[in-house]
Amino acid sequence: MALTQLTVVDTAVDILQQFGLADLSMRRLAKELDVQVGALYWHVKNKQELLAQVAAKLLNTPQLSVKAEEFNAPADAILQLARNLYLALLPIQDSPEVIEVATAMQATELAPVLQLRELLEAAGLSSENARHGQQLLLNHILGSVAFRQNLVQLDVDSPISDGFDWALQRAVAGLVN
């Protein structure tokens, strides 16, 4: 199999999903691809950039986006999108850290995160306030996923409702009046 940017990133996604971020090292990745570590650096600049591309692969899927016209209120579309993100990230170990790396270097556009802002504007917020609301909701999604995943690690039995949704509803209500 030819070593390309695509195969590198896809294998990285695989390792992340199966074993978590702690096992997603450049060396482990090289071993999985049957090459030397140095070879990876011909296809990706560094680990940060790799993680940003992993995040893009995870989020830039049409499955996550939401069709605004299918909801009678923008707030409902926002709630649905936030839930989609939460549920998609939950089963992927350490996904919040990966997403944070990607948004920190803002090199990559994460479609559902952009849509979050668009929907807030559609709900009547100024473009500035839509950015701030986006931040609040993203913080809540990533923080809640991280918190839940930590519970699993300490194998506490996770209840079906973990309070994410209640707080999400209150936050959206506060944002769109």
Q: How far is the CB of 154 from DNA (least distance, A)?
A: 15
* Interactions with its own copies, residue window 132-171 (CB under 8 A): 132-133, 135-136, 138-140, 142-144, 146-147, 150, 153-154, 163-164, 166-167, 170-171
Among 37, 104, 151, 152, binds DNA (CB under 7 A): 37
Cα 98 from Cα 103, distance rounded (Å): 9
Q: Where are the alpha helices (DSSP H) in the chain?
A: 5-19, 26-33, 37-40, 47-59, 74-89, 95-104, 111-122, 127-153, 164-176
Using CB under 7 A as the binding rule, whether residue 153 contacts DNA is answered as: no
Identify which of residues 43 and 132 has a Cβ nearer to DNA in the complex.
43
The terminus-to-terminus CA distance of the chain in angstroms comes to 54
Q: Is 48 an interacting residue with respect to DNA (CB under 7 A)?
A: yes
Among its own copies, DNA, none, residue 69 binds (CB under 5-8 Å by kind):
none
- Please choose, from the candidates 8, 6, 47, the residue with its C-alpha nearest in 3D space to the C-alpha of residue 25: 47
Residue 45 binds its own copies, judged by CB under 8 A: no
